[in-house]
Structure 1
Amino acid sequence: MQRRHSKRWQMITGDLVSATVLATVPVSAALGTLTLTQLMIVAVVQGAASVLHDAAAISLPPSLVDRSLIQRSNSRVGALFAVAATAGSHLGAALTALLGPARALLGDVASYLISAVCTARIQTAEPARARPEIRRLRGEIGEGLQYVRGDDRLWTLTLVNATTSFALGLLNTLWALYLFVPA
């Protein structure tokens, strides 16, 4: 399977897209033009950008650390994600109480910009990309699905993750509505 783009640039792009789209919310709120449609579009675009970022972030450590340290590195990355999710939720609640829901998103915008800067500072060169063979995306997706479907553990994990991601997407959308719709 051929890698199409630099993982670092994929992560930076995901961060910058997330920062940009989230920044539209406080701007629109300040102008009095924020709509439910905009919030839904922001949620979809930001979610897609997060998938783009996270897919690259998960696969980048093998090019940064020695093979013998991959398990330890992945454990630390997982622990950092858990700490960031917990601390981020509490910080987000505090900023929302202090600044209001729309302006509190500026903290999130800042975190994406900091992430992009930190990712840009990674000095390790990724392995050179081989010239990609011409393949159809549909065929590659089918090949990947066939591989996952052939392994019961991967199939179960995929279904659990897809269901959880869908439920969290719904929850986050409803949570945004709860925060932004006046009582």
Structure 2
Amino acid sequence: MRISAPADTAAPTPRPPVRSRALSWIPGLLYDTAFRRYWTAQTVSYLGDQVSALAIPLIAVTVVHAGAAQMGYLAAAVWLPHLLFGPYAGLWADRRRHRRRVMIAADLGRFALLVSLPVVHALSTLTFTSLFTVAFGVGLLSVLFEVCNPPLFKALVPPGGYVAGNALGSGSRAMAKVVGPSAGGFLVQLFSAPFALLVDALSYLVSAVLLARIAPEEAPPSEDRVRLRAAGRFILRSRAIRAALAATATVNFFCFVTTTLFVLYATTTLGLGAGLLGTVLGAGAVGAVVGAMCATPLTRRLGVGRTFLLGCLTTPAPLLLIPAAHGSGPAVLVMLVGAQFGSALGVIWIDITAATLLTSLVPDAMRSSVFGAYQGVNLGMRPLAALIAGAVAGPLGLRTTLWIAAAGALTAFLWILPSPLSRSTPPAVGQEA
């Protein structure tokens, strides 16, 4: 039987868990069982995704013998659902009572889709069409999962823990990028690319099981039929979110131009081999891990808004080192490593603070729809940037295009200066204790 405190007696404040000095480095949120299961589900999925990121392109090249155009279509298949369905998926999610169940269903759907590839390969019926269909289907289910995730995060994390919670998630994603490619390469060598996909499939199954073992009190579904126009109006009327979206979209567009051309520039212009290229790209993953680790103390010192502004400067500034690198030798390698490390550091600060702003400032009734619209614009910049990068780099040259991309990304901070983000943390954003 549950006993309530008397009306005239204040309920005692729950004591934080007692931690030994040896365990004091463990973030407080991980002592909460529900959050720990939620975070573990994310971490396992991120590791599995790194296996697929390597295995699916290898299947396309080695098994179905895809050409350059087909490889482009396959890469676009992952992002197209965000562009086409992200905002509408958010509207749909806001009307659902049990968004956690949608996330579990999305995990199980992705598990089934990925398992289908080694099955059809074993039957010698694997084609590019089946590969494209699975990639698109996984991308679509990922959109559903992601638009349902912000309400679940809000239900699990107290306001004062938003930055720490987002830092843990971003840290998992960054660490997966450090460990995942090596593990993926080992699994591909051991089992072949199609059967290595079973590891990613199992990661979704583990995620579904862990999410099924938590039961947070989710926000009720929206009673009003929120329309896409209403989500757009909310973003435009909120000075902080409007500035954040304009800045992140600017960074995303110009930085993805650099991402699209970087491997080509590094190998053909600078003459980097595969081993050195892997070292350079690995520096970016390390930078992301470091950024996630220092995000919480940084926001305590600067506030969420100013940390976001710092991220908008730190992300593009190191990219100037890429076109500045010339010739060969250790200096070039140091410049490229510095560019990848520094840029990834800033990206993580942007990701954590932007997620914190959305969690804090968006009402529960339209949380998923605003997140879907935000991501639709933000991630929709990537396929557009890739197309423009290919079209412009030919007549202008790789180095000139990279200079323009880095300079363009640096303008992102201009969106922040007239907004509340440049002066202080918006009052609705919870501060770390």
Matches within 5 A, 1:45-56: 45-56=137-148
Percent identity of the aligned residues? 30
Larger radius of gyration: 2
Encode CA deviations 1:64-122: one digit per residue, 9 max, x unaligned.
12222222111111111222343233222211111001000000110000000001111
Matches within 5 A, 1:164-175: 165-166=382-383
| SS of residue paired to 2:125 | coil
Hey, what does 1:86 align to over in structure 2? 178
Encode CA deviations 1:133-183: one digit per residue, 9 max, x unaligned.
345xxxx2233334445624313424624256538x99xxxxxxxxxxxxx
- Are 2:235 and 1:144 aligned? no
Which of the numbers 171, 187, 191 marks the counterpart of 1:99?
A: 191
Hey, what does 1:33 align to over in structure 2? 125
Deviation for aligned residue 1:56? 2.1
RMSD: 2.7
| SS of residue paired to 1:133 | coil
Greater CA drift, 104-113 or 148-157: 148-157
Hey, what does 1:162 align to over in structure 2? 379
In 2, the alpha carbon distance for the partners of 1:40 and 1:71 equals: 36
Matched pairs, number:
165
- Are 2:171 and 1:66 aligned? no
Change beyond 3 A, Cα 1:134–1:70: closer
Greater CA drift, 157-166 or 89-98: 157-166
Higher relative contact order (CA 8 A, sep 6+): 1
- Are 2:102 and 1:10 aligned? yes
Hey, what does 2:134 align to over in structure 1? 42
Gaps of 5+ in 1: 171-183
In 1, the alpha carbon distance for the partners of 2:171 and 2:211 equals: 18
Contact 1:149/1:155 (CA < 8 Å) preserved in 2?
Answer: no
Encode CA deviations 1:38-61: one digit per residue, 9 max, x unaligned.
000111000111121122224422
In 1, the alpha carbon distance for the partners of 2:147 and 2:207 equals: 15
In 2, the alpha carbon distance for the partners of 1:115 and 1:165 equals: 27
| SS of residue paired to 1:60 | helix
One-letter code of the match for 1:42? V
Hey, what does 1:178 align to over in structure 2? none
Question: So what's the TM-score if we normalise by structure 2?
Answer: 0.35
Gaps of 5+ in 2: 1-90, 253-377, 388-433
One-letter code of the match for 1:143? A
Question: So what's the TM-score if we normalise by structure 1?
Answer: 0.77
